Amino acid sequence: MSDAVEQANALLREKGYAERDLAVHTGPRGKALLKGNKILSPLSDEAEVVLQVVRDLVPPDAELGAKTLRPAELRARL
């Protein structure tokens, strides 16, 4: 699991996010949490699912701009 978390955080850094704005953390019961200032509320799921969200659905920071990601919208696009 920590591999998926590390990969997700590396992708977020590549996309221009500071850790306080958007990062993946290890959560309870084998879950991973995508949280930070750029998401309305934390997104919690299996680490591989969170990695997929980061890889495929989270836009680069410059593209997101002042907008805030919404977990429900990310889930709907999975």
Over 80: is that where the pLDDT of 10 sits? yes
Determine the pLDDT at residue 2: 81
Determine the pLDDT at residue 77: 95
Residue-number span of the structural domain to which 72 is assigned: 2-77
Count of structural domains within the chain:
1
Over 90: is that where the pLDDT of 69 sits? yes
Q: Is the separation of the CB atoms in 60 and 15 below 8 Å? A: yes
Q: 18-67: per-residue pLDDT in tens?
A: 999 999 999 888 899 999 999 999 999 999 999 999 999 999 999 999 99
Q: Is the separation of the CB atoms in 44 and 58 below 8 Å? A: no
Under DSSP, the state recorded for 60 is P
